[in-house]
Amino acid sequence: MTVKLVKVTPKVERYPEYEELDWVIAHGLGVDHTADITSFSQTIAQAGSIKGIETYYYMRYDDSPERNYIPMAFYTVLGKPKVPVLLHEEVEPVGELFKVIAVFSSSLLLQKTAQRALLFDGAKKDAILLVNTSITTDDVVRLVKKYNLAQDWFGKVVTISAAKIDSAIAYPMLGALARGWDRIDLDSILTALDVLGKEKKKESVKKGYEAASVKEVHVLAEETEMFKKIKREVELPEFTGEFWTPEVYYAYQKAAAEAQTYPSRIATMPRWEVLAPGLIEFGPQPGKRNLGFTTPWRWQRPIIDMNKCTDCKLCHYYCPDGAIDFAPIKVDIDYCKGCGTCEKVCPVKAIKMVPEIEYLEGLRDEEVLRRFEQREYGF
């Protein structure tokens, strides 16, 4: 049964009341950076409140519970005089909301965020990009222009190699933030740490402040790759008034999987008449993988040396995500999360995990190699 498809232009909402506020969005890999980003956001909110600014911070509830290596985001929102801070939990990456985009792993510069949007979707024109990385500011801007920016950007980029200073990377990041953003100054952050009982971290904040690199940025939308490439329309099954069959469902699924912006993803969500009664969806046919969830945000990928491989099948057997085909042994990279289990179980050491930034861009970033055990402890 062929499904008739029609083009749909997504509705793009803008929320002027929320755009009046200063939003800080902090992106990181789940669990790995949760404690760091919590400290980061909490300290900003504390610093803001010390200065008499109405602030709150919270995790994007959709990412709850946060999962290892799966991108998640925290929001901190700062009010302005006479502008009430409204409750807005479902912060969509649209319009001009984000004043600061803090990125705790450079792998997130390369692919889409937790909300399946570009990193700069929803950014203010003068946004400050703060990245925990050892690569240069020039490289950061180049990557962003290639992968994650499709609009004008007349703001700043700030980089800091945080783990070099303190394995609790939130603190050098805070120092770097103070360098790049006048709204939250160094003194407020240091006072905030006193209030929060984290006096021991003040040194790291100061060091981060000193070591940060700041660069002004002036990029026009037309100069970016994504501006040319990005598809804003979607193709959906024609609405017949009937509830869906598997074929119609798979067509919706394909459209949602291929959506490149947040509004177009929402546009692929069906109207109630299309839902089969009883909360029915359809899984993939046996032998196929689930089109509805891929892993473009992985931070490292396995490279298999087929000369060393003895075809023992252990990597296929032990991949928690089933991303390694059985025969021939081959990684389906769209489903690999970069956990590194295959590298561990291979008896002949034929598999090596390589950071995405190295594989895709030939860059070496000390920060993505931060030892797992050095994370700030906490759930």
Partner 1 sequence: MSSQVAFKNIKEIPPVDYYTSGRRTCAGCGPALGYRIISKAAGPNTIFIGPTGCMYVANAHQFLTSPYAVPWHHTQLGGGGAAAIGVASALRTLMLKGKRKLEDINVVVMGGDGAMADIGFSGLSMGLSYDYQRLLYIIYDNEAYMNTGVQASSTTPWGATTTFTPAGKVKPIGNTRLKKNMALVAAAHPKVKYVATATLWPPLDLMNKVHRALNAGGPTLIHVLLPCPKGWFTNPSETVDLSRLAVETGMWVLWESIEGQFKLNYRPKPRKHVREYLAPQGRFSHLKDEDMEKIDKMIEEEWKFWEESAKLGRLVVPY
Partner 2 sequence: MSAIKPMPPVAIEKPKAKVWNGARAIAEAVKVADVDVIAAYPIRPYTGIMNSLASMIANGEFTADIIVADSEHSQFEIVKHASAVGARVFAGSSGVGLAFAAEAIIVTALSQLPVVAAIGTRALDDPGNFGMEWSDALMFRDFGWLISWAKTVQEAADMTLVAYRVAEDRRVLLPHFIALDGAAITHVATPVVPVTKQQATEFLPPYRPPYRIDPQDGPVTKAQHIAPSLIGPEERKTIDVAQKRSKQVIAEAWKDFAKYTGREYPPFLETIGMEDAEFALIGMGAYMKDLELVASRLRSKGHKVGTVRLRYVRPFPAEELINALGGVKAAGVIEFGYSFGSPFGTGSLYHEVATSLYEADAKPTLLDFLFLGGREPTVEHFTQLAEKVIESAHKKPQKKTYWLTLRGEDI
At its nearest, how many Å lie between partner 1 and the CB of residue 338?
Answer: 6
Per rule CB under 8 A, is residue 68 in the interface with partner 1?
yes
Chosen from partner 2, partner 1, none, partner binding at 276 (C-beta under 5 to 8 Å by type): partner 2
From the list 249, 355, 356, 370, which residue makes contact with partner 1 (rule: CB under 8 A)?
Answer: 249
Asked if 109 and 119 touch (Cβ cutoff 8 Å), the reply is yes
Asked if 297 and 338 touch (Cβ cutoff 8 Å), the reply is no
DSSP 209-259: HHH-EEEE--B-GGGSHHHHH----EEEEPP-SSPPPHHHHHHHHHHHHH-
DSSP 95-131: SS-EEEEEESSGGGGTS--TTSS-TTTTEEEEEEEEE
Chosen from partner 1, partner 2, none, partner binding at 200 (C-beta under 5 to 8 Å by type): none
CA-to-CA separations, 139 to 142, 152, 217, in angstroms, rounded: 5, 18, 12
CB closer to partner 2 out of 23 and 249:
249
Chosen from partner 1, partner 2, none, partner binding at 90 (C-beta under 5 to 8 Å by type): partner 2
Per rule CB under 8 A, is residue 266 in the interface with partner 2?
yes
Q: x/- binding map, residues 26-65, to partner 1, per CB under 8 A? A: ----xx------------------------------x--x
At its nearest, how many Å lie between partner 2 and the CB of residue 16?
Answer: 20
Per rule CB under 8 A, is residue 306 in the interface with partner 1?
no
From the list 211, 214, 345, 360, which residue makes contact with partner 1 (rule: CB under 8 A)?
Answer: 345
Chosen from partner 1, partner 2, none, partner binding at 277 (C-beta under 5 to 8 Å by type): partner 2
Residues 38 and 75: their CA atoms lie apart, in Å, by 10
Query: How many other CB atoms are found less than 10 A from the CB of residue 12?
Result: 15
Q: For residue 76, is it left (φ>0), alpha (ψ between -120 and 50) or beta? A: beta
CB closer to partner 2 out of 65 and 84:
65
CB closer to partner 1 out of 115 and 224:
115
Tell how far CA 295 is from the center of its chain.
11
Q: For residue 268, is it left (φ>0), alpha (ψ between -120 and 50) or beta? A: alpha
Chosen from partner 2, partner 1, none, partner binding at 65 (C-beta under 5 to 8 Å by type): partner 1
Half-sphere exposure of 367 (CA within 13 A, CB side): 29
Q: x/- binding map, residues 276-295, to partner 2, per CB under 8 A? A: xxxxxxxxxxx---------
* Bridge-based pairing state of the strands 98-103 and 22-29: parallel
In the region spanning residues 101 to 120, those forming contacts with partner 2, defined by CB under 8 A, are none
Chosen from partner 2, partner 1, none, partner binding at 339 (C-beta under 5 to 8 Å by type): partner 1
Residues found near partner 1 in the complex (CB under 8 A): 30-31, 62, 65, 67-70, 249, 252-253, 256-257, 268-269, 281-294, 311-314, 316-323, 325-327, 332, 335, 337-341, 343-345, 372-373, 377, 379
Residues found near partner 2 in the complex (CB under 8 A): 62, 90, 243, 246, 266, 269-272, 275-286
